[in-house]
């Protein structure tokens, strides 16, 4: 099967969950020719570090470093040659230009979440430029990254005609138990990974942590990624008297497995997720994980995580204190998390995606 992954997401995202998915698909298809997928070259300038830092894949895809993100996007927007020999085009995002060309190809579209549609106040400037509804309407097959996302899609667009398959993300093998501690990590810490604003509910965690520290005062709350702490966050931390106990770091991927693996536990309080990759990475690392009981997170965590009611900082603090006080429960969640994460792999993701391509061509 000749498959064109368009370069949309690789021209606008240096790092991130969506580009990670398509990078992993391309890498797995190259590693496993028995899947029968030939990924056609991008032959384009991109900014995505996942692809560019994998020399073999970058060469196979004919991907080149763009001089900047605006140049990469501009090059994409003026491109006219659309690989007419592709049997399948798998769009990587929803910009209008991606609907052009690919004459005679079947179109597969991945829906990662329905957050902009269900929570309009969260929309970014880029979301205002997209034609997601038209991609869904024109698709020959739709992939959703979770059953929760499929349900959200059908609630928003109940007239969707294309068949829908659920294909979960995988987890990188670097996330594994027993990774040595990096020297700059706090001695004892609770971990939060990723963006913190709006529905990500980091403020709920800050309030819960303030209560938690009354019983465990030597513990640090470590935020990784998601941008620098905002003025509002700093103000809240000072009002809660926890400013000295909260740290923020930006860590490369090579250090993330250590950050997960050496945490007391990970908290992912988001009340809306399409999938929730940090939850899976934490469990794969053998770290006890606390999740909001919302959207896709129970689908990812199963019975291997502890849960709390979304937005309830008091309940979250109780769950945190209970977990920190119970070494037996910590060991149980660690063991269950490793087993749960083993159900998810990028190889499996690629195999199931290849099956979607095959079904679409029949």
pLDDT confidence tier of residue 221, bands split at 50, 70 and 90 = very high
On whether both 329 and 349 belong to a single domain, the answer is no
For the stretch 273-302, pLDDT in tens is 999 999 999 999 999 999 999 999 999 999
Burial annotation 71-95 (CB, 10 A radius, 16+ → b, else e): ebbebbeebeebbeebbbbbbbbbb
Task: Give the pLDDT of residue 169.
Answer: 97
Q: Let me know whether 207 and 117 are in one domain.
A: no
Give the DSSP letter of residue 129.
G
* Residue 353 and residue 328 share a domain: no
In a domain, 43, yes or no: yes
The two beta strands, 246-249 and 265-268, are unpaired
Tell me the CATH number at 41: 3.40.50.2000
Secondary structure, 3-state, 99-117: HCCCCCCEEEEEECCCHHH
Q: What is the pLDDT of residue 125?
A: 65
Has residue 175 been placed in a domain? no
With cut-offs at 50, 70 and 90, classify the pLDDT of residue 83.
low
pLDDT class for 80, splitting at 50, 70, 90? Answer: low
Pair (215, 306) in one structural domain: yes
Q: Tell me if 20 is assigned to some domain.
A: yes
Q: Rounded distance, CA 149 to CA 347, Å?
A: 21
Per the CB < 8 A criterion, the answer to whether 6 and 25 are in contact is no
d(CA 325, CA 327): 7
| 209, 275: one domain | yes
pLDDT digits 0-9 by tens, 128-164: 678 899 999 999 999 999 999 999 999 999 999 999 9
Assign 212 a pLDDT band (cuts: 50, 70, 90). very high
Same domain (yes/no): 131, 210: no
Classified as helix, coil or strand, 308 is strand
Residue 78 pLDDT exceeds 80: no
Question: Which residue segment(s) compose the domain that 277 sits in?
Answer: 189-341
Query: How high is the mean pLDDT of the chain?
Result: 93
Q: What is the pLDDT of residues 301-336, one digit of tens each?
A: 999 999 999 999 999 999 999 999 999 999 999 999
18 and 137 in a single domain? The answer is: yes
Q: Is residue 180 part of a domain?
A: no
Q: Is 59 among the domain residues? A: yes
Considering the domain architecture, whether residues 266 and 145 belong to the same structural domain is answered as no
Report the alpha-carbon distance of residue 282 to residue 334 in Å, rounded: 9
Q: How far is the CA of 131 from the CAs of 4, 117, 152, 172, in angstroms?
A: 19, 12, 17, 31
Total domains in the chain come to 2
Same domain for 55 and 137, yes or no, is yes
Question: Is residue 183 in a domain?
Answer: no
Residues 6+ apart with CB under 8 A from 276: 268, 270, 291, 296, 297, 300, 301
47 contacts 72 by C-beta, under 8 angstroms: yes
Specify if 176 maps to a domain.
no
pLDDT-derived band at 253, boundaries 50, 70, 90 = confident
Any domain includes 177: no
* 257 in the same domain as 269: yes
Q: Are residues 98 and 205 in the same domain?
A: no
- The reply to whether 163 and 312 lie within a common domain is no
Spell out the residues 6+ positions from residue 328 whose beta carbon is closer than 8 angstroms to its own.
Answer: none
């Amino acid at each position: 099967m000749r498959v064109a992954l368009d370069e949309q997401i690789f021209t606008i995202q240096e790092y991130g969950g969506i580009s990670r998915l398509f990078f992993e698909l391309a890498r797995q298809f190259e590693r496993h020719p028995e899947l029968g997928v030939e990924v056609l070259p991008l032959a384009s300038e991109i900014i995505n570090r996942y692809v560019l830092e994998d020399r073999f894949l970058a060469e196979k895809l004919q991907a080149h470093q763009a001089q900047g993100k605006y140049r990469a996007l501009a090059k994409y927007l003026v491109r006219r040659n659309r690989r007419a020999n592709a049997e399948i085009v798998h769009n990587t995002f929803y910009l209008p230009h991606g609907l052009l060309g690919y004459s005679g190809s079947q179109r597969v579209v991945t829906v990662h979440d329905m957050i902009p549609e269900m929570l309009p106040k969260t929309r970014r400037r880029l979301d205002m430029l997209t034609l997601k509804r038209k991609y869904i309407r024109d698709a020959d097959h739709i992939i959703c990254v979770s059953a929760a996302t499929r349900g959200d899609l059908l609630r928003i667009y109940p007239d969707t005609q294309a068949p829908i398959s659920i294909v979960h993300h995988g987890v990188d093998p670097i996330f594994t138990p027993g990774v040595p501690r990096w020297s700059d990590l706090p001695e004892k810490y609770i971990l939060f990974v990723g963006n913190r604003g709006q529905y990500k509910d980091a403020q709920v965690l800050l309030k819960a942590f303030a209560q938690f520290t009354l019983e465990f005062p030597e513990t640090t709350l470590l935020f990784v990624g998601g941008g620098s702490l905002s003025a509002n966050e700093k103000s809240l931390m000072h009002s809660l008297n926890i400013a000295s106990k909260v740290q923020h770091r930006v860590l490369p991927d090579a250090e993330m497995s250590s950050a997960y693996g050496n945490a007391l536990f990970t908290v992912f309080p988001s009340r809306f997720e399409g999938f929730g990759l940090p939850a899976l990475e934490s469990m794969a690392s053998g770290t006890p994980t606390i999740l909001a009981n919302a959207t896709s997170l129970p689908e990812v965590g199963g019975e291997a995580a502890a849960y709390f009611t979304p937005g309830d900082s008091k309940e979250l603090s109780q769950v945190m204190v209970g977990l920190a006080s119970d070494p037996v429960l910590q060991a149980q969640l660690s063991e269950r998390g490793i087993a749960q994460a083993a159900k998810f792999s990028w190889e499996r993701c690629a195999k199931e995606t290849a099956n979607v391509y095959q079904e679409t061509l029949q």
